[in-house]
Structure 1
Amino acid sequence: MATTELHPAVQRAVDAANAGVTDDFLDSFTAEGAVDDWGRVFAGREAIRGWSDKEFIGKDVNLDVTAVRRSGDTETVSATVGGNGFNGPSDFAFTVAGDRISLMRITG
């Protein structure tokens, strides 16, 4: 289902990333949450922090959301990524568990 509104947990993660607030970004995840960055999986708060410090928020990431699609408990966000790392279009598939993210998978 296409929509322009993000799930509150996903919105918190995107807002935190754009504001450069790592702790708020991490708080968007479940305790067992993970990031899958093209097959490299970072599970748990400290692993996600390490990844983010080197490749996401630490690179001054900016996500300009261009589309949102939902299927079951997964919300796929298309965004134009800016910052001091990867720049360009990308997709992020967020699996939501209650009011938190259990998995953020970078898919495209």
Structure 2
Amino acid sequence: MSHEIPAAVQRALTAIDAQDNDAFVAAFAADGYVDDWGRQFRGPDQIRSWSENELIGKRATFTGTEVSTPGNPLTIVTQVGGDGFNGPSHFTFDVQNDQIASMTITA
């Protein structure tokens, strides 16, 4: 990747690679949220449930990950694989105080 990825985002990406739901959830702020194509999952319990059902629980993989918009918020584009959604996606991360405040998934 050509641009620096904030530590909190890197922790989340590493957790996805390791299929570690606890580490993924821990990358988020207590009031953080995931916005999955307009559906919001706020707080650790909802993020954990979402990930168990739609990300790590589906053995998601990210390949060819690149920063498409540097800064904060930062957007990466990646090819998603696994047992759920497969295809290209954009993930936009807002980082506050070294934790993910939000992760928004779009086409």
Q: Tell me the TM-score normalized by structure 2.
A: 0.93
Q: Tell me the TM-score normalized by structure 1.
A: 0.92
- Report the aligned-residue RMSD: 1.4
Q: How does 1:46-61 map to 2 (within 5 A)?
A: 46-61=45-60
> Quick one: percent identity of the two aligned structures?
46
Number of aligned residues? 106
Q: How does 1:47-86 map to 2 (within 5 A)?
A: 47-68=46-67, 69-71=69-71, 73-86=72-85
Q: What is the alpha-carbon distance in structure 2 between the residues aligned to residue 46 and residue 36 of structure 1?
A: 14
Counterpart residue number, 2:93: 94
How far did 1:66 drift?
A: 2.9
Q: What is the alpha-carbon distance in structure 1 between the residues aligned to residue 64 and residue 5 of structure 2?
A: 10
- 4+ residue stretches of structure 1 with deviation over 3 A? none
How far did 1:65 drift?
A: 4.2
Consecutive unaligned residues of structure 1, counting only runs of 5 or more, are none
Contact 1:79 1:89 in 2 (8 A): yes
